Structure 1
Amino acid sequence: MASVAEQTPAVLVSTPQGLAGRLQREGDYVFSFDPAAGEQAAPALGMPRRLKPYVHKSLHPVFQMNLPEGYVLEQLRQRLAKTTGIDPLLLLTVVGSQAPIGRLRFAAEGPVQASTAPQGESLADLLASKGSRDLFARLVDTYLMRSGLSGVQPKVLVPEIPTGLPAGEFKAALATSELIVKSGLGEFPGLAVNEFFCMTVVKRAGIPVPEFFLSEDGELFIMRRFDRPGGKRILGFEDMLVLAGRDADQKYVGSYSLALKLLHHYCSPEHWAAARQQLFDMVALSCILGNGDAHLKNFGVLYEDVTGAVAMAPAYDIVCTKLYIPEDNLALELVGNRSFFAARQGLLDFGNRCDIPKAKVKTRLIELASTALRTLDDLAPLVEKLPGLDEIIRREAHRYLETFQ
């Protein structure tokens, strides 16, 4: 019987700048650059072009980033069990051939098989749906095989039909945008409302965010992907776990100071000041909003190609996890501690590490807490759908105001 390595074809890794190289398994995972690949075609910031292959015991972190997790992985496992299985390389060619997050594309070496053009969905129809659970099931069934999305939350990547274009004509047109559609299903009741509220606070605080929406029945959170500005440019994206060179199962290992060091190392000088302020704001709001899932995969950077400018990516995946796990802690260490209670002092120290003056840190924390409170008032009818959310965030926000005013 042939070994798994013998059964698994090599994978061709491509970028908008051309073919990068060949990924295969020879005991370890081996990525070798194509002889004709230029420097701009390198697959990751930490993998510049070189003659010597990159060898990793597990799949290289930048390629792991494109593998699905949680709900999406389980759905793929069920669908592929009798055919290709869930071998990592084969899985990459399934979910990474059309529209994975970032600039990489993956294809099995050999004859190219024709793929069916995506059907596409109207954003207006998605938002107006009155049966979002049934709709989400249909979206998963239709678009599962193109959804290379990490994270455990149920989500699917859906092409958006351009405004004014009949659905039947979509195949002949270029997609102007793609939508990430999320649902809490039964495991996390009200998760779409939760994320919409938290992301609204983030947006009102002046932190860059992708465009996002909530369906009329409150069951679906929909976000435009931020690595396709204008629906045409294809940007590279790498999360902090990739930048740290770590495997996906280590996303809760480390600290926010590590994220700061990685940003300092990889961000272009002209973007460094904005990046460190944004990181501080995102960590601070995670503390105020009770978000215990701000791990290394929930921060990242964007770039045109590996030789160009690198900036911090917009904020995403921010929810109040304490609504579901009352005793939750921070996902990463904040100056040596993961306690939400200790975070107020920790943020003063972290602000100093971000080169933000102490007085400005206090002023900013007051601004962020006040923004959360105003948003609770402004979105009160929506927040009332989630019993406990108002109490959790209002209590924490007032603690920050009492401490720093």
Structure 2
Amino acid sequence: MNNARPAETVMSLDVLLNEVKVGTIVRTPGDFNAFSFDPAYRASGGHPVLSLSFRAATGGLRKDPRPVAGALPAFFANLLPEDKLREAMEKHHARAVRPGNDFDLLAALGADLPGAVRVVPSNGDIVAATAAVEGEPKARFSLAGVQMKLSVMKNTGKGGGLTVPLGDSDGQYIAKFPSTAFPGVSENEFANLALAEAIGMDVPERELVGKDQFEGIPEEFETLAEGLVLLIRRFDRADGARRIHIEDFAQVFGIYPARKYEGAAYHDIAAALNVAISPVAALEFVRRLTLSVVMGNGDMHLKNWSLIYPGDGNSPAMAPIYDVLSTVPYIPADNLALSLGGERAFKALTLPRWKAFANRARLPEPAVLKTVRETVKQIDAHWWKLPERDAVPSIVLERIDAHVRAMMPVLSD
């Protein structure tokens, strides 16, 4: 018996963290969406952790959030793709999902979300998006963000290759496709990730592959841009299809994706890491932030910093660094995505700004300034001889190099 049905007819979704039922999202008349915690999960004190945004200062869980009109609560809204990637996924599921409806899209994609969260119909039905109204399996993964990227799996056996998981299959990699607007963006990020690894940061496995390595990509996700694809191993997926929970800082702060560039400042992230993990984690954030400033990365917004919950899922750690690239080759007048010590312009980020940042984050000034200076020296020692530079188109590399040279004295005085 086929119990598949369109997402718009689903009224209640169970929220699972791996196999633990966390709560339920109910769609009420008037298109209000209400999330409530499961009594057993609340009795456990909220373990494993779904999000720091739901935790009370005194321990345990906050009260259930208020129903939201026409949208999902912020934590769940941040699990969905944005802009062109969202448009492509809605088109892919056109017969089951209404455009712009968050609940519909979450119901359709909820079996394969970032981290260890799964969202499935409460009554055991299968959303038509996963079984497909027309009887064919559909891609039903969700990746946050705006760039055209796909969750993919490597085929084993004769021929190999890469393909989009359909139906109940899981992707182990994220494929980030080239852009017509930003030439060489895959190679740019590839080199920046290599630099991050060279200076000792936690970086996921990655490689550059040709588009000819992919097969069976639905036409909605095809891009016209030529060039290489950046393939990154998913750090929220372990061997044996085990899922590891993650949350980005828009989720940590309860901020909707539309406000990812303005909902908080960098000192807020540092302060949260200091309390939730350790001062060492906060200083590692300073290292990563220094890398972003030196390399000219103006897109490190709230969704490009994440926590990961390894082991039993009860304690957060810093997730590996990701979405690291230089934006200044494409946007010469670009600024930081968030405020650092009250400033966003790269060349204004002198050491007094970092002192202001340290004070607002409640971190010791000497430790922050030492971290900034040491990171600048490490970048200078590795960037110029990094083998992965050879992959970056010359015009893009020249602009990155010019920015790096300009920023070195700004952060060293």
TM-score category of the 2 structures, normalised to the smaller one: 0.7 to 0.9
> 329, 334, 338: which is aligned to 1:328?
334
After TM superposition, the runs of 4+ consecutive aligned structure 1 residues lying more than 4 A away are 5-8, 48-52, 114-118, 162-167, 174-177, 351-354
User: Share of identical aligned residues, percent?
Assistant: 27
More helix by share: 1
State how 1:137-286 maps to structure 2 within 5 Å.
Answer: 145-161=139-155, 178-216=172-210, 218-253=227-262, 254-267=264-277, 272-286=278-292
Instruction: Name the CA distance, whole Å, in 2 between partners of 1:24 and 1:374.
Output: 55
Q: 1:223 to 1:277 in 2, by over 3 A?
A: same
State how 1:288-327 maps to structure 2 within 5 Å.
Answer: 288-304=294-310, 308-327=314-333
Give the unaligned 5+ runs of structure 2: 1-6, 212-226
Residue 398 of structure 2 aligns with which residue?
391
1:361 aligns with 2:368: no
Instruction: Name the CA distance, whole Å, in 2 between partners of 1:166 and 1:197.
Output: 26
Instruction: Name the CA distance, whole Å, in 2 between partners of 1:147 and 1:337.
Output: 37
Between the two proteins, the alignment pairs up a number of residues equal to 365
Residue 88 of structure 1 aligns with which residue?
102
Q: What secondary structure sits across from 2:174 in the alignment?
A: strand
Instruction: Name the CA distance, whole Å, in 2 between partners of 1:379 and 1:50.
Output: 46
1:315-362 per-position Cα deviation (integer Å, ceiling 9, x unaligned): 001111111111111100010000011123334554675432534532
Work out whether residues 175 and 231 of structure 1, in 8 Å CA contact, stay in contact via their aligned partners in 2: no
> 2, 13, 17: which is aligned to 1:11?
13
Instruction: Name the CA distance, whole Å, in 2 between partners of 1:143 and 1:101.
Output: 20
Work out whether residues 178 and 231 of structure 1, in 8 Å CA contact, stay in contact via their aligned partners in 2: no
Work out whether residues 162 and 176 of structure 1, in 8 Å CA contact, stay in contact via their aligned partners in 2: no
Which letter does structure 1 place at the counterpart of 2:209?
A: S
Q: 1:204 to 1:80 in 2, by over 3 A?
A: same
1:75 aligns with 2:88: yes
Q: 1:193 to 1:231 in 2, by over 3 A?
A: farther
Work out whether residues 280 and 351 of structure 1, in 8 Å CA contact, stay in contact via their aligned partners in 2: no
Q: What secondary structure sits across from 1:29 in the alignment?
A: strand
Q: What secondary structure sits across from 2:186 in the alignment?
A: helix
Q: What secondary structure sits across from 1:55 in the alignment?
A: coil
Q: 1:246 to 1:183 in 2, by over 3 A?
A: same
1:18-68 per-position Cα deviation (integer Å, ceiling 9, x unaligned): 111210133542112233434325532332566953224241222112111
1:73-115 per-position Cα deviation (integer Å, ceiling 9, x unaligned): 1112223334321321121121121x21111101123243399
Work out whether residues 198 and 320 of structure 1, in 8 Å CA contact, stay in contact via their aligned partners in 2: yes
1:160 CA displacement: 3.1
1:101 aligns with 2:109: no
Instruction: Name the CA distance, whole Å, in 2 between partners of 1:184 and 1:300.
Output: 24
State how 1:27-66 maps to structure 2 within 5 Å.
Answer: 28-37=32-41, 38=44, 39-40=46-47, 43-48=50-55, 52-57=63-68, 58-66=71-79
Q: 1:358 to 1:113 in 2, by over 3 A?
A: closer
1:305 CA displacement: 7.5
Q: 1:266 to 1:231 in 2, by over 3 A?
A: farther
1:197 CA displacement: 1.2
CA RMSD of superposed structures (Å): 3.3
Instruction: Name the CA distance, whole Å, in 2 between partners of 1:206 and 1:68.
Output: 31
Instruction: Name the CA distance, whole Å, in 1 between partners of 2:356 and 2:157.
Output: 48
Which letter does structure 2 place at the counterpart of 1:264?
A: N
Work out whether residues 121 and 127 of structure 2, in 8 Å CA contact, stay in contact via their aligned partners in 1: no
Work out whether residues 239 and 300 of structure 1, in 8 Å CA contact, stay in contact via their aligned partners in 2: yes
Work out whether residues 271 and 282 of structure 2, in 8 Å CA contact, stay in contact via their aligned partners in 1: no
Instruction: Name the CA distance, whole Å, in 1 between partners of 2:368 and 2:338.
Output: 23
Provide TM-score, normalisation by structure 2. Answer: 0.78
Work out whether residues 351 and 361 of structure 1, in 8 Å CA contact, stay in contact via their aligned partners in 2: no
Q: 1:180 to 1:163 in 2, by over 3 A?
A: farther
